[in-house]
Structure 1
Amino acid sequence: MKILSVSTATNHLSVALNEDQQVIVEKNERDERNHSKHLDPLIEEILKENKLTLNDIDRFAVAIGPGSYTGLRIGITTVKMFASILNKEVVGISTLQALAKGVKEPALVITGLDARNDNYFAAGYISGDIPKNVIPDGHYNIDVLIKAIQEYAAQNKVNKIIFVGSGLEKRDEKIKTLDIPYEYGTDEQNVIHAGLIGQLAVDAEPVDPDKLLPRYLRRTQAEVDWHKKTGKPFEPDSHYVEEV
């Protein structure tokens, strides 16, 4: 099964072609912050180099969040369009699970993306071929995240923690209070790789392209402003996402 995978969730752009679990090719651009211009050329480059067309792809996969609001929409809209037009399968993969898959050694993997003001999009996973989620993907203040790790560690044997993603090393003084051996991820582990998304996509359940939506894990500023202005309750993400 040929899988084309995309991550536009952060400032790191990644596109990969997999044949089942084998990563055929992965191309990455770091800190470009211009995914709308660079995504399609990267896809075209990968297909051309491997003498393929979009119609040769069996399944599309994309990081659905958390991450940059604009970035997520770019990647998700692109694969939704491909899957809808070509009648192909599509799956969404948690950004945080994709980060956890980059860790090969046995550990509790805390994946996090800096959300500013001591807040993180974060989760806890047990490393493995398909990382097992043990602390739910969420939007956490650092103190709440530390408490969640402590509660999990108190009920489970945790010999080592590996922190991957962005910004967690800035909170090292708080992390030390866990009193559990830990380390931070390498540069390669700290970014999202489309090849790993493709590997997770092999066993993931395909969804209707119209139901593939971003998982922001917190309200956008536009939603907050709308709520303040109207007084109406927040609605499902699908009410705020443009259909393609």
Structure 2
Amino acid sequence: MKILSVSTATNHLSVALNEDQQVIVEKNERDERNHSEHLDPLIDEILKENKLTLKDIDRFAVAIGPGSYTGLRIGITTVKMFASILDKEVVGISTLQALAKGVAGDALVIAGLDARNDNYFAGGYKSGDIPENVIPDGHYNIDALIKAIQEYAAENEVKKIVFVGSGLEKQDEKIKALNIPYEYGDDDQNVIHAGLIGKLAVSATPIDPDKLLPRYLRRTQAEVDWHKKTGKPFEPDSHYVEEV
């Protein structure tokens, strides 16, 4: 099964072609923010270099969040369009699960993206071929995240914790107080790889492209302001957690 995978969730752009669990090619651009301009050319490069067209792709996969509001919509809209027009399968993969997939060995993986002011989009995963989400993906203040890790560790044998993503090193004093061996991911582990999204996509369940939605995990300020002004309920067009 040929899978074309995309991540536009952060300032790291990643596109990959997989043949089932094998990554045929992955192309990355780091520290770029104009994904709308660069995504299509990267996809085109990969297809041409492998003598393929979009019609040859069996399944599309995309990081659905958490991540940049604008970035997520770019990637999701692109694969939804491809899947709809070509009548192909599409799957959405958690950004945090994709990060956790990059960690091998027996560990609790805390995947997190810096949301500023000591807040993180984060989740805890048991490492493995398909990382298992054991601390729910959410929008956490660092103290709440540390508490969630402590509660999980109290009920499960945690030999090592690996922190991957962005900004977690700033919390080293609080992490050290967990009294559990830990380490931080390297530069390669701390970015989202489309090839790993493709591997996770092999066993993921395809959905209707129209139902493929971003998982922001936090409402935009515009939505909060609109709700306060109108008093109308929020639209159920994404997955959120409580503001912190």
Using the size of structure 1 for normalisation, the TM-score is 0.97
Residue 190 of structure 2: aligned partner: 190
**CA distance in 2: counterparts of 1:133 and 1:34, whole angstroms:** 31
Residue 93 of structure 1: aligned partner: 93
Q: Which aligned pairs between 1:1-244 and structure 2 lie closer than 5 A? A: 1-237=1-237
Q: Counterpart of 2:106 in structure 1: which amino acid? A: P
Residue 242 of structure 2: aligned partner: none
**CA distance in 2: counterparts of 1:235 and 1:63, whole angstroms:** 22
**CA distance in 1: counterparts of 2:225 and 2:237, whole angstroms:** 15
Q: Counterpart of 1:203 in structure 2: which amino acid? A: S
Using the size of structure 2 for normalisation, the TM-score is 0.97
Q: Which runs of 5+ in 2 are unaligned?
A: 239-244
Q: CA deviation at 1:228?
A: 1.4
Runs of at least 4 residues off by over 4 Å: none
**CA distance in 2: counterparts of 1:225 and 1:73, whole angstroms:** 21
**CA distance in 2: counterparts of 1:63 and 1:169, whole angstroms:** 24
Q: CA deviation at 1:25?
A: 0.1
Count of residue pairs brought into register by the alignment: 239
Q: CA deviation at 1:134?
A: 0.3
What CA deviation, in whole Å up to 9, does each residue of 1:99-131 have, x standing for no partner?
A: 000001210000000000110000000000000
Q: CA deviation at 1:237?
A: 1.9
Q: CA RMSD in A?
A: 0.9
**CA distance in 1: counterparts of 2:117 and 2:231, whole angstroms:** 26
**CA distance in 2: counterparts of 1:28 and 1:218, whole angstroms:** 27
Q: CA deviation at 1:211?
A: 0.1
What CA deviation, in whole Å up to 9, does each residue of 1:148-203 have, x standing for no partner?
A: 00000000000100000000000111111100000000000000000000000000
Residue 241 of structure 1: aligned partner: none
Identity of aligned residues (%): 89
Q: CA deviation at 1:233?
A: 2.3
Q: Counterpart of 2:214 in structure 1: which amino acid? A: P
Query: Matched residue of 1:237: which SS?
Result: coil
Q: CA deviation at 1:225?
A: 1.2
**CA distance in 1: counterparts of 2:102 and 2:69, whole angstroms:** 23
**CA distance in 1: counterparts of 2:161 and 2:20, whole angstroms:** 29
Query: Matched residue of 2:120: which SS?
Result: strand
**CA distance in 1: counterparts of 2:153 and 2:21, whole angstroms:** 32
Q: Counterpart of 1:173 in structure 2: which amino acid? A: E
